[in-house]
Amino acid sequence: MSGKVWQRGTTPDDINQKCLQLCADYLGGIWHKLTTDDIEVKILSGGLTNQLYYCGLNEEHRKLVTTEPQEVAIRLYQKKYFNNYDTNDKSERLSDTIIALITSHKNLGPKIYGLFESGQIMAYYQHRVFSSEDERDVQMVTKLAHKLAAIHSLEVPLKLSHNWIVDSYDHFFHLSKQRFDLNSMFNEYDLETLKTHDLSEEIQWMKELILATDSPVTFAHNDFSENNIMVTKSNDIVVCDYEYSCRGYRGYDFGSLLLVWRRNRCEIRKPHEFPDDHTLRQLIEPYIEESVKLNGNEFLKDKRNSVESMLREVKAGTERMTEPKEINTDFSSIKWERGQTPDNIKDRCFDLCRHYLGDVWLNVTIDDIEVKRLSGGLTNQLYYCALNEDHRNTDEEVPQEVAIRLYGGKHFNNYDKQVNERLSDTIVSLLVSEHNLGPKIYGLFESGQILKYYKHKSFRKDEQKDEKLVKELAKKLAKIHALDVPIKRTGNWIFETFDAFYGSANKNYDMKALINECNCETLKMYDLKAEVDWLKDLITKTDSPITFTHVDFRGSNIMITESNGIVLCDFEYACYDYRGYDIGTIFAEWGKGLADIPKPQDFPSDSTFKPFIDSYINESMNLLGKQFSEDKRNSFDHILKEGKIFNLVSNMFFANEAIVVGMPFDKKKAMVF
């Protein structure tokens, strides 16, 4: 079997062009200037589920000094054989996106350069697989044990309630009976073991043994074999292929690894000589040591985490446990409405908290919780969900109150109109949560998010006068603009949106009649299309750097919390574009309260913005060093200029949006812009 090529499907004829376009979109830089003649593309392995390609610059182009990676691995998704995350979820790749980001950020998986609906762009590693020689190297085994402990310690916002192994046994056995006459097959291939033992009874025995073993439920890799453990040239270990990862028994990862311990592929069909206790201790003891470092002494208080107990676990011990209760809710049938609060919103929020938070939420009834609407927003619905006071406990690990965001349709998709408009939400929300810039994420599902609930006030006129808060906000914005986010770096959503909104406004209304009816003096004197074109030209001349941007950086999305400092929210339109848009958006609100929004702005003096801009520059230099300081566009004067120009852009954007977005249209109110 060692010579077998694992490949699924055929290589597309246009694979070179497809890989080049992906690299241009997500890596940018030199990749924009290349043709397919300048790159090398080759299949690495088709795998059993995906296709994996190497894409690199030709040798002559590698001599150029670039900041972009010169070679990458591109994974193109194929259909999964089974979805062990959520069989009711339409998007079987949602968990892949979540897990790829977190394992990349924690240095437990390949570095991610791009995530798109049909695949991933990852760092390419020259490596060997974890071999029988590595298994005899105590230092390498220790490294591997530490990696596995870190994987099992991850907090991943996926469902907590799941038992995919038992479900899969039943599913596969049922399918095999449908497709084949099993007894005839056993006789035809002379399968002695299966001729003498009933397969159904063996499966039932194995299911009972799994439950009896009482293996802790953690985040698990679920395909932790040598082929997915890369040993790099520097002898670092990178674990890959997390596509079947989910909450499950940690013992499955140990079992998958030990199944091939000190065997190569040629020996896979031979009877297995299971490692002795001395060999197992070399893996288990450093695993426990690293787990204590990551989780504290609480880890050792669980008797299942002793060396002796784990020895029994990896061998499948015989201690009994009660079968866990399964929670079955068909989320695909839930219709998340926008506008009116659904009648059964309390049931929906309760089910979500049980699935993703577990613990005390599994021991209460719907009468023991409170649900109320926080805001419907212009795009989403947001709800507060909390345990009643008499059911709260002191366990800070399990949230007692959360915010649940249910997606509505976006008014515009400024990320990529050809893909799922919520893909970027998943990517961005995870990253800003990991970097403590946005709300902590407890759960991500296809139609929304479960977030930490913060008691807070918004950043308004009074907060703008607090220099300490202003400086903290500027530092947060600098950190956002310094983020490396694996989404497309191409496109110009501001220009495209201006054109789209203007086109929709003229299609839906007689603009001249509307302007006269609402007595819009400015628009009577100036042609709106000419103003839009003038502003687009001004944007280009301003030469604002392209960074990752929030795009809706206004006071209502800046939470001043009671104990967590400033937390930014509503990143759903975030993308790569002009950083000046964020600066201009917050400047457009400076010195104004909500009641002042329709009024002309008395724009503050330059000195008003000095604390903000100085703090932004200092933090950016701390984060980016010379890369930032040597760019002349990062001077105080240039950033101030960006803020003023994009203040106009922000106002123009909302003037257009007020007319065309899908909400009840009140002419008098909308046209005040």
Q: Tens of pLDDT along 481-534?
A: 999 999 998 767 888 888 888 888 888 888 888 888 878 777 788 888 888 899
Residue 54 domain boundaries: 15-124
Between 527 and 411, the more confident residue is 527
- Whether residue 5 is predicted with pLDDT greater than 50 in this model: the reply is no
Does 7 reside within a domain? no
Does 185 reside within a domain? yes
Residue 645 sits at φ, ψ, to 5 deg, of: -65, -45
Range in 285-289, 363-367, 619-623, 659-663 with the lowest mean pLDDT:
659-663
Domain of 492, CATH number, reads 3.90.1200.10
Within 10 angstroms of residue 94's Cβ, the number of other Cβ atoms is: 21
- Whether residue 109 is predicted with pLDDT greater than 80 in this model: the reply is yes
**pLDDT at residue 88, as a whole number:** 58
Residue 438 shares a structural domain with residue 460: no
**pLDDT at residue 671, as a whole number:** 46
The answer to whether 110 and 122 are in contact (CB under 8 A) is yes
Residue 486 shares a structural domain with residue 446: no
**pLDDT at residue 489, as a whole number:** 87
**pLDDT at residue 437, as a whole number:** 97
Number of domain units in the chain: 4
Residue 120 shares a structural domain with residue 133: no
Residue 136 shares a structural domain with residue 120: no
- Whether residue 92 is predicted with pLDDT greater than 60 in this model: the reply is yes
Does 350 reside within a domain? yes
- Whether residue 379 is predicted with pLDDT greater than 90 in this model: the reply is no
Does 47 reside within a domain? yes
Residue 354 shares a structural domain with residue 444: yes
Residue 111 shares a structural domain with residue 152: no
d(CA 177, CA 307): 41
Between 410 and 577, the more confident residue is 577
- Whether residue 127 is predicted with pLDDT greater than 90 in this model: the reply is yes
**pLDDT at residue 81, as a whole number:** 65
Residue 462 shares a structural domain with residue 563: yes
- Whether residue 98 is predicted with pLDDT greater than 70 in this model: the reply is yes
Q: What is the residue whose two structure tokens read 């023991």?
A: 368
d(CA 99, CA 87): 17
The answer to whether 430 and 102 are in contact (CB under 8 A) is yes
Shortest CA distance to 23 belongs to which of 33, 13, 12, 37? 33
Residue 310 shares a structural domain with residue 336: no
Residue 170 shares a structural domain with residue 148: yes
Does 4 reside within a domain? no
Rounded to a whole number, what is the distance in angstroms from the first to the last CA of the chain?
70
Residue 463's identity, in one-letter code, is: E
Domain of 391, CATH number, reads 3.30.200.20
Residue 282 shares a structural domain with residue 138: yes
Does 113 reside within a domain? yes
* pLDDT-based confidence at residue 164 (cuts at 50, 70, 90): confident
**pLDDT at residue 3, as a whole number:** 46
* pLDDT-based confidence at residue 380 (cuts at 50, 70, 90): confident
**pLDDT at residue 651, as a whole number:** 80
* pLDDT-based confidence at residue 417 (cuts at 50, 70, 90): low
Residue 162 shares a structural domain with residue 305: yes
Q: How many helices (H) and strands (E) does the chain have?
A: 26, 20
Answer with the one of 101, 124, 147 that is the final residue of a domain.
124
Answer with the one of 100, 124, 148 that is the final residue of a domain.
124
Does 514 reside within a domain? yes
Mind listing the pLDDT tens digit for each residue in 259-317?
878 766 556 566 667 788 888 999 999 999 999 999 999 999 999 999 988 988 887 53
150-168 residues labelled b (16+ CB within 10 A) or e (exposed): bbbbbebbbbbbbbbbbee
Strand extents, DSSP E, 154-291: 217-220, 229-232, 237-239, 246-249
* pLDDT-based confidence at residue 93 (cuts at 50, 70, 90): confident
Residue 67 shares a structural domain with residue 27: yes
**pLDDT at residue 259, as a whole number:** 81
The two tokens of residue 54 are 């190497």
**pLDDT at residue 614, as a whole number:** 97
Q: What is the mean pLDDT of residues 593-614?
A: 81
Does 321 reside within a domain? no
Average pLDDT, the chain: 85
* pLDDT-based confidence at residue 56 (cuts at 50, 70, 90): very high
- Whether residue 193 is predicted with pLDDT greater than 50 in this model: the reply is yes
Answer with the one of 124, 154, 189 that is the final residue of a domain.
124
The two tokens of residue 116 are 């798109």
**pLDDT at residue 156, as a whole number:** 93
Q: What is the mean pLDDT of residues 175-195?
A: 86
